[in-house]
Structure formats: C-alpha cells, structure tokens
Amino acid sequence: MNVLEVIGQLINVTLVFSTALIFTALGGMYSERSGVVNIGLEGLMVSGAFAAAVMTDYASQAGLAASAPWVGFMAAAIYGVLVALLHAVSTITFRADQTVVGVVINIFALGLAIYLTKSLYEGSGQTPQLAYVFDKWAIPVLKDIPLLGKAFFTAYPTTYIVIAIAVISYFVLFRTPFGLRLRAVGEHPSSADTVGISVTKYRYIGVLLSGALAGLGGATITLTTTSSFAHNTISGQGFIALAALIFGKWNPLGVVGAALFFGLAQALRNFAQLFEFSKQIPVEFFYMLPYVLTLIVLAGAVGRSNAPSALGQPYDPAKR
Amino acid sequence: METIKKVFNKSSILVPAIAILLGLMVGAIAMLAGGYNPLLAYSSLLDKLFSSPYNMGEAIRAITPLIFTGIAVAFAFRTGLFNIGVEGQFVMGMTGATIIGVTLDLPWYIHAPLAVITGALFGGLWAAIAGVLKATRGVNEVISSIMLNWIALFLSNYIVATYLVEKGQQKTRPVHESAMLTIDWLIELMDKARMHWGTFVALICIAVFYILLWRTKQGFELRAVGHNPDAAQYAGMNVNRTIVKSMFISGVFAGLGGVFEILGVFGYQTVMAASWGYGFDGIAVALLGGNTPVGVLLGAILFGGLNYGSTGMSFGAGVPSEVVRIVIGSVIFFVASHGLVKWFIKPFFIKRADKRKEAV
C-alpha cells in the first residue's frame, strides 16, 4: 500500500466513525442552543439504534429488501422524538432539573430498549443480524478522482445526509428568523418572551430535534457498523458526541470539526495495527489517544466556555 | 390546607414515596404490555432478596459500592460540580488497590491500610485533574471527566495487562491475603455471601460526608461556592482551590468504592472491555437521595436492592431483568419532576379539601 492509498482509506474510515457523532452532536446543539442541557444524548442514541434494528428487521421480513434500512432509519428518528418528548415535558413544562432528567433518559432508554428486545426476540438480548443494511454509495465520476474519490465519494448514504444537515443547520441557526429565535431563547429567555417569542415552543422544538437527530445517530451505528442492536452497541458514543458539542463550541461547523477529530482518532487505532512501527506501541495508548488529545486541546484553548448563557435554567415567566 | 402545603413541599417525604410507587407502576405497565405477570415478578424480586442469608448478604455487597459512588456524586453536587467522572475514579481506586495488593508483601496491619489509602488517593488525584483543569483553564468538568473516564479504563487495562496478569490470563495475580478486607466470620454466618469491611467504611463515609459539609468551616466554604461562586469569591473565599479540593474529596469517596470491590469482593482485577457502571449508577443514587446523607443511603439500598433482586425476577417470572432499570429511571424521573407528581395527586387533595369545607 502506498501512502496516498493509506491516507485515502484513513479518511474513508474516519467518515464512517464520525457520521453518527455528527448526527448526535448536532442534535445536542439544537437542544442546548435553546437553553436545555442534554446529557441524555447517549440514551437517545441507544433508542435510535434499537428502533432502527427492530424496524429494519421487520421491514426486511415484510419483503422490503434494500429499502428496509430506510424504514429503520426513519423509525429511529420518530422513536428518538418520542423519548425526547419525555425530556421536554418534564424539563420545559414541569421545570425539572435538566441534568437529572438527562441522566434518567440514559438509564430509562437503555433499560427499555433491552427489555423490549428481550420481549420481542424471546429472551435474546440482541436483535438478529440484519439481512439488509446500508451499502456504500460511490458517486459516479467523482469516485474516479484519484485519492479524493476513495476518500470522500465512496461513503454510506448517512454520511452525505449528515453533511447536508450540518450545512443546513449552519444556515438555519445563523441566517433565519427561526435560528435567531432559538438562540435568543437560549441566551436570554425573558427578553425573548418580552418580544413575543414563545420560550416553551422553541425549547420544545430544540429538544425534539435533538431526539430526532440523536436517534438518526444511533441508527447510523446499527445500519453501517454493527448490523444489530445489543446493550453495548452504543457504549459511550453519546457522551463523546456531547464532548464534541462542547469542543465545537455549540457551532454546527465546529461540531462537525470536533466530531471528525474524534472519528479520526478512532480510525487511527484501527490503522495502528497495520504497521510494524506502530505495533510496538501498546494498543491501550491508541485507545486513549482521542481523549487525551481532547483534554490537551481543551486545556490549551483560549477563552472560557461559550455555552448559551441560559443553558440549564428552566424558564419561569413568574420570575421575569 | 396545611396538609396540601406539606405535600407540595419538595423536601417532604411524600414525593419520593409516591415517586417510588409510580415507578413500580410504570414497571408493572411495561410488564403487562410485554405479557408478563407483574405481581409474580415483584414477589419473586422480594423473594430473591429475603429468601436466604446468602442473598441478603449478597444484596448488601451489591449496595455497598453504590453508597460510595452515590456520596461521591452527591458531595460534588453540593459544591456546585457535576462529577460525571466517578466511574473513572472508581476504576483508578480499583487499580491502586490491586497494584499494592498484588506486588507488595507486608504484614496485614500495614498492607491493607496502604492498599486502601493508595486506591483512595488514586481516585482523589484522578478527580483532582478535572478540578485543576476547571480551576486554572476553565474546562467544563463534565467534559473533562467524561474523557478521564475513558483514559482511566484504558490506563488501568494497560497496567493490569502489562504488569500484573497471570500468564495467559485476562486477570491479575491474586491480591495477597494480608491486603484482603473480607470478614470471614460474617461470611460463614451469611452462608458464603461476600461480606467485607467496605460496608462499614461506606457507613462511616456517610457520616464524614455530613460532618464535612455541614459541621466544618471548610464545608461551609464548599457549599457557599456551590450556591454562588461569585458571592463566595466576594466574601474572600478561594473559589479555585475549593473546586480542586471538592473534586479531590469526591474522588476519594469514589476511589474507596473501587478499592473495596477488589480487596473485599474479588481479590483480583480483570482487563475490562467497558467499566462497570457503578459510577453512573452513583449519579442515579445521588439524585434519588436528593444529595443528602441519609437520602443517599436509602437511594443506594433501593437501587442496589432492586438491581440484585432483578435476577430473581427473570428466574421466577421470566421477566427480563432490565425492567428494573425502567423502574429506577421512572422513580428518579418522578422525583425530579415533582411538579408532575403534584399535578398527579392534586385532584385527590382538592376533592378532599372541598369535602372538608362542606362538612364545616
């Protein structure tokens, strides 16, 4: 293998690992930009991964063949919204502590997913291997560009979708009235309320969007990487997405950058096994690499946290 | 009216009690929906817990680490920090105890305390990293401790796999007898349930948690910083030092939890694919207990008891044991959304109040 080929491969694998993280972190961004902390991303991802596996399985049994994964993909978004609704009702309407509810979502969603899996598949804690999952799409013409073609234009459909969503999110957040209002609600809810913006409505939208996107993130892992759902399908990816959100400073493009960085670190550890010189380094150090780098970058980053200023505070109009 | 006010008061005991009932109901609904018998399930859960001395002892064993991690989370919460890194500190505590327990050869009165202290320090210093990063560089402790969780897992795997394993195995050489903290006569008494001194240390830690925070000047400072860092700063307290101190103490509690899993229960450490989750469960315990000393103890008993009993549920009623996670999640959900609980019970009280009015 020549160097260019390796780099092309590395980029390709990085994109696979990053896609789910970008979905989820973007979801978290909508929620947190509206002022609602979302520690529950992990649980929402688990929910999405579970729904995608089950619905894809049912759809393939119903004879949908190659379009079955798309059914699962959509189902993941819907199920994610339902779980996020729990978060929204308690934190926005009943002003419960957002961090606490996020933790609850994590416990509850995993419990429910495994419970349902065992109920649906006669006691087995894992869904069967899916007959149909997403295949990589090679984009005609572009795929033949040397290096770039292999690296960027032979990817899972989810990767193309998430990049589109990231770009759209940037415009929505910074170039549309909706985005302005969403940010206003997260920065200064009482002012937003004064000028007639419904804090409740925008926060609901933010949290439900996070459910849909994190659900898609979970579905991405099921439908491109594991091909089934079990208790360890997600194991911590949601927390890494949360880190990517903070690392990316709550900005869609920053979030994409941070998620790509985590994806690259994960890809590197797979590649480390291929070369003599890197085999000498204990594998655990490669596992640690992304997390150590993040700490170093965060510690060295200039400027303190750029979190939305009303993040984590329930909005109580009576206290205006 | 007075009773209604009492019910609507957050600190009242009624809300958690109702939350537990509602949580059990949610679990029952889930079981009914899945075609299981909830009554049989709950009775086999209780059966499992109280059927034999062995099971009661093992339930206590399951509750003990949750007390430690619950206090660790609650302590940090009280000082305004969200220590989501208890998981990693727990692992570092395990590793510290294992290193001393496996490699050194000392008389028991030095060996065991040394192993305990080393593990506690490992946990405390690991947490202090997050504290220092927050105090000096403004790094959000949630994100840094999530990172530290993973680093702890891989670091301890590296230490175990490189220096401490038995040849060809995934687990360390056994911890020397002189460092073990099992209680042999109690083990005999409880029919071989794995009893150890950690349970008593956990109870002491609850007292320490209370005294430290509410009965000392330092504790006052810690809580003041938790309430309002700006005001505390203005009053002349060193907020940055307090943050580091608070994380360190929280980490010591977490580390002790890990220590006793090694020295009290297993006597060896394995290469782990993922950490055990006691740290994350500790968050749930702290929330269940409202971050109060007695609350954490009760929360740990509820959480640990349900968890341990859940195996009986799947055995006796065929119900997947994960239903317990649904119950626990719901209970915390209802405790957190006490507004929702009040909304649920409001109609009853209004009716009763109306009747009383009529009677008058």
List pLDDT tens digits, range A23-33.
999 999 999 99
Residues of A in contact with B151 (CB under 8 A): 288, 291-292, 295
The candidate with the shortest Cα–Cα distance to A244, out of A7, A9, A38, is A38
B325 and A295 within 8 Å at the Cβ level: the answer is no
Residues of A in contact with B330 (CB under 8 A): 108
For A259-281, write each residue's pLDDT tens digit: 998 888 888 877 777 776 777 78
Give the closest-approach CA distance of A66 to chain B in angstroms. 30
Which residue in chain B is spatially nearest to A99 when comparing CA positions? B82
Choose from A295, A297, A302 for mutation: most chain B CBs within 10 A.
A295
Q: What is the pLDDT of residue A301?
A: 66
For B147-165, write each residue's pLDDT tens digit: 899 899 999 999 998 888 8
Chain B (75-94) residues lying within 8 Å, Cβ to Cβ, of chain A: 82, 84
Which residue in chain B is spatially nearest to A281 when comparing CA positions? B158
Choose from B8, B10, B32, B150 for mutation: most chain A CBs within 10 A.
B150
What does the block give as tokens for B82? 């969200």
List of residues 6+ apart from B249 with CB closer than 8 A: B75, B124, B212
Unique residue bearing structure tokens 């018998």: B37
| Mean pLDDT confidence for A139-146 | 75
Q: Where are the domains of chain B?
A: 65-290
HEC per residue, A110-129: HHHHHHHHHHHCCCCCCCCC
Q: What is the pLDDT of residue B358?
A: 66
B287 and A240 within 8 Å at the Cβ level: the answer is no
Least CB-CB distance to A284: which of B157, B280, B330? Answer: B157
| Mean pLDDT confidence for A54-78 | 91
Give the closest-approach CA distance of A154 to chain B in angstroms. 31
For B243-266, write each residue's pLDDT tens digit: 999 999 999 999 999 999 999 999
ipTM here: 0.82
Does residue B3 surpass a pLDDT of 60?
A: no
More confident position, A301 or B158: B158
Residue B286: how many CA atoms within 13 Å on its side-chain side? 30
User: Whole-number mean pLDDT of chain A?
Assistant: 87
| Mean pLDDT confidence for B261-277 | 87
B328 and A111 within 8 Å at the Cβ level: the answer is yes
- This prediction has a pTM of 0.86
For A92-133, write each residue's pLDDT tens digit: 988 888 888 898 898 899 999 999 998 888 878 888 888 888
Q: Are A178 and A172 in contact (CB under 8 A)?
A: yes
The candidate with the shortest Cα–Cα distance to A77, out of A158, A16, A133, is A158
Q: What is the Cα Rg of chain A in Å?
A: 20
Q: Are A121 and A128 in contact (CB under 8 A)?
A: yes
Residues of B in contact with A294 (CB under 8 A): 143, 147
CATH of A3-319, one of 3.40.50, 1.10.15, 1.10.3470, 1.10.287: 1.10.3470
| Mean pLDDT confidence for A139-167 | 82
d(CA B216, CA B198): 25
CA A132 to chain centre: 22
For A215-242, write each residue's pLDDT tens digit: 999 999 999 988 899 988 887 889 889 8
Least CB-CB distance to B333: which of A99, A108, A246? Answer: A108
